[in-house]
Structure 1
Amino acid sequence: MTITRDDDVLGGEPRIQGTRIGVRHIATRVIEGGSSPALVADQFDLSLAAVYAALSYYYEHITEMRAFEASNDAAFDRVRDTSLKPKEPIQ
């Protein structure tokens, strides 16, 4: 499997070619979630080789991947801070 980037898919983040599954999706499940690569491959209906290709890309481009994570976190914070909130608690 090849890792590819396309500005029109996932905002240009690296992903597994032919899918909308990003490298960060795989890395998050394996690294942060503690799932085995085999389980992640099964969950996403991918080959084990594709999962390892994504993990390899993640570690080979760790600075780039952390920049994507920081950008995504900042965007989430902006949306959360500007979203409509009830003026008083709902009872």
Structure 2
Amino acid sequence: MAERDTRRVARDLMSEPHIHGRRISVRQVYALVEERSEDPEAIADRYDLDVADIYHALAYYHDHPREMRNVEQERDDAMEDFRESIVRPEAVDPDSA
């Protein structure tokens, strides 16, 4: 009996789905392959993954559209909160120097 690769999508390291035991998220895989048109095999090589992991992540993305939209919204909200929390120094008037 062939040994089965157990790497699949998980949520144990981050607040969004990622390849089990790795930090690369399903969202990152989707962006690389489908938005940037990168080759799945090249991504697998870059991140030391099986190409099956890449395709499984893509399948997960498409099989869970509501969850992935929620993840995107959570990330967008977090970035907005971060931007709002940055304390910017008051503008320096170059004429007053």
Both structures adopt the same fold (TM-score exceeding 0.5) = yes
Answer yes or no: is 1:54 the counterpart of 2:57.
yes
Tell me which amino acid in the other structure corresponds to 2:49. Answer: L
1:70 matched to 2:76? The reply is no
1:5 aligns with 2:46: no
How many percent identity over aligned positions? 36
Q: Which has the larger radius of gyration?
A: 2
82, 85, 89: which one aligns with 2:88: 85
Q: Which residue of 1 aligns with 2:26?
A: 23
Question: Following superposition, which runs of at least 4 residues in structure 1 exceed 2 angstroms of deviation?
Answer: none
TM-score by length of 1: 0.84
Q: 1:24 to 1:89 in 2, by over 3 A?
A: farther
What is the Cα-based RMSD across aligned positions, in Å? Answer: 1.8
Of 30, 39, 48, 1:45 maps to 48
How many residues align structurally?
88
Ranked by relative contact order (alpha carbons within 8 Å, sequence separation 6 or more), the top structure is 1
Matches of 2:72 and 2:93, distance apart in 1: 33
CA apart distance, 1:89: 5.2
Segments of 5+ residues of structure 2 without an aligned counterpart are 1-6
What is the deviation of 1:86? 2.6
User: How far does residue 90 in structure 1 lie from its aligned partner after superposition?
Assistant: 9.1
Deviation at 1:34, TM superposition (A): 1.9
Contiguous gaps of at least 5 residues in structure 1: none
